Amino acid sequence: MKPHFLFPTWMRWLGLCLFFVHLPVMHIWDMYHIHSAPSDTGMFSSGHLFFILTIVLMVSGLFLIAFARERIEDEQIYQLRLSSLRWAIFANYAILVICLVFTTNKADYKDMLRLNLWVPLVLFIIIFRYKIFRLNRSLKPEQ
């Protein structure tokens, strides 16, 4: 099979670490209200930098988990990966359209953007893992 670009397998664990590091950091954000002063709205304001840091941690973590190579990445896994990605995109756009239809407050659009950062990746990871789980369960004993 023609090799497709994917991250090495060990990067999945790095991705998990990044994702779990992001959780307490987000918690600190909420606990101590590290918000910048209203006048401090620049690119390098502390609030914005902290926000970017947590988002980058989360997205890169999820990205590595989603696109790390399986131990044996063969054509069947590739097919499962592709079909999971398709379902994740379908579901993501369904959620996006529903959100757009029912959102009337302009302030909520920022939340929608944040949602869209992680929903497709999380959906993809869940669907892909579920498909692999189902594949492993459907195996017949060797004869």
Partner 1 sequence: MKNTLRVERAIKNITQGELAELIGVSRQTINTIESNKYVPSTVLALKIARVFEKPVEQIFLLEDGD
Q: For binding to partner 1 (CB under 8 A), which residues are involved?
A: 1, 72, 74-77, 135-136, 138-140, 142-143
Rg (CA), the chain: 19
Given a contact cutoff of 8 angstroms between Cβ atoms, the answer to whether 118 and 63 are in contact is no
Query: Three-state SS for 68?
Result: strand
Structure tokens at 77: 């896994």
Task: Give whole-number Cα distances, 64 to 58, 80, 87, 137, in Å.
Answer: 10, 17, 19, 26
Closest CB 85 distance from partner 1, rounded Å:
18
Q: Which is nearer to partner 1, 48 or 131 (CB)?
A: 131
Closest CB 98 distance from partner 1, rounded Å:
34
Closest CB 83 distance from partner 1, rounded Å:
12
Cβ contacts of 54 within 8 Å, gap of 6 or more: 22, 25, 26, 29
Given a contact cutoff of 8 angstroms between Cβ atoms, the answer to whether 7 and 64 are in contact is yes
Q: Which is nearer to partner 1, 63 or 78 (CB)?
A: 78
Closest CB 128 distance from partner 1, rounded Å:
14
Q: Which is nearer to partner 1, 114 or 134 (CB)?
A: 134
Q: Which is nearer to partner 1, 29 or 78 (CB)?
A: 78
